[in-house]
Amino acid sequence: MKHYQILIIGGGTAGITIAAQLKRKKSSLQIGIIEPSEKHYYQPAWTLVGAGAFDFKETERNEGDYIPEGVDWIKDKASSIDPDKNEVVTATSGTYTYDFLVPVPGLVMAPELLPGLKESLDKGVVCSNYTNPEHTWEVLQNFKGGNAVFTQPTTPIKCGGAPQKIMYMAEDYFRKQGIREKTNVLYATPGTVIFGVPEFAKTLNKIIHDRGIIFKPFYAPVAIDAEKQEITFRYSKPGESNCTIMEGNPLGEELVGALDIKVHFDMLHLAPPQMAPQFIQDSKISIQEGPGKGWVDVDIHTMQHKRYPNIFSIGDVAHLPTAKTGAAIRKQAPVLVENLITLIEAGTVGKKSYEGYSSCPIVTGYGKMLLCEFKYDNVKDSDPLISTFVDTTKEQYSMWLLKKYGLPFMYWNLMLRGKA
Catalytic residue among 127, 159, 243, 372: 159
**Other C-beta atoms within 10 Å of 210: how many?**
8
What CA–CA distance (Å, rounded) separates 19 from 25? Answer: 10
What CA–CA distance (Å, rounded) separates 286 from 103? Answer: 11
DSSP 8-state class, residue 311: B
DSSP 8-state class, residue 70: T
Sequence-ordered list of residues with C-beta below 8 angstroms from that of 413, at least 6 positions apart, any chain: 419
What CA–CA distance (Å, rounded) separates 191 from 217? Answer: 6
Catalytic residue among 127, 243, 360, 372: 360
What CA–CA distance (Å, rounded) separates 56 from 346? Answer: 45
Q: Is 363 helix (H, G, I), strand (E, B) or coil?
A: strand
E strand map for 42-154:
60-62, 71-74, 78-82, 87-90, 95-103, 108-109, 126-127, 146-151
C-alpha closest to that of 128 among 276, 273, 329: 273
Q: What is the largest CA-CA distance in the chain?
A: 69
C-alpha closest to that of 165 among 410, 402, 400, 336: 400
Instruction: Give the angle subtended at the CA of 73 by the CAs of 72 and 79, to the nearest 5°.
Output: 120
370-401 b/e (C-beta count within 10 Å ≥ 16 → b): bbbbbbbebeebbeeebeeebebbebbeebbe
According to DSSP H, which parts of 114-180 are helical? 117-120, 133-142, 162-176
Active site residue 127: no
Active site residue 360: yes
E strand map for 104-236:
108-109, 126-127, 146-151, 183-188, 214-216, 219-225, 230-235
- Listed as own residue / partner, the contacts of 236-243 with beta carbons closer than 8 Å and 24 or more positions apart are 236/154, 236/190
What CA–CA distance (Å, rounded) separates 33 from 96? Answer: 11
Question: Hey, which residues are catalytic here?
Answer: 159, 360
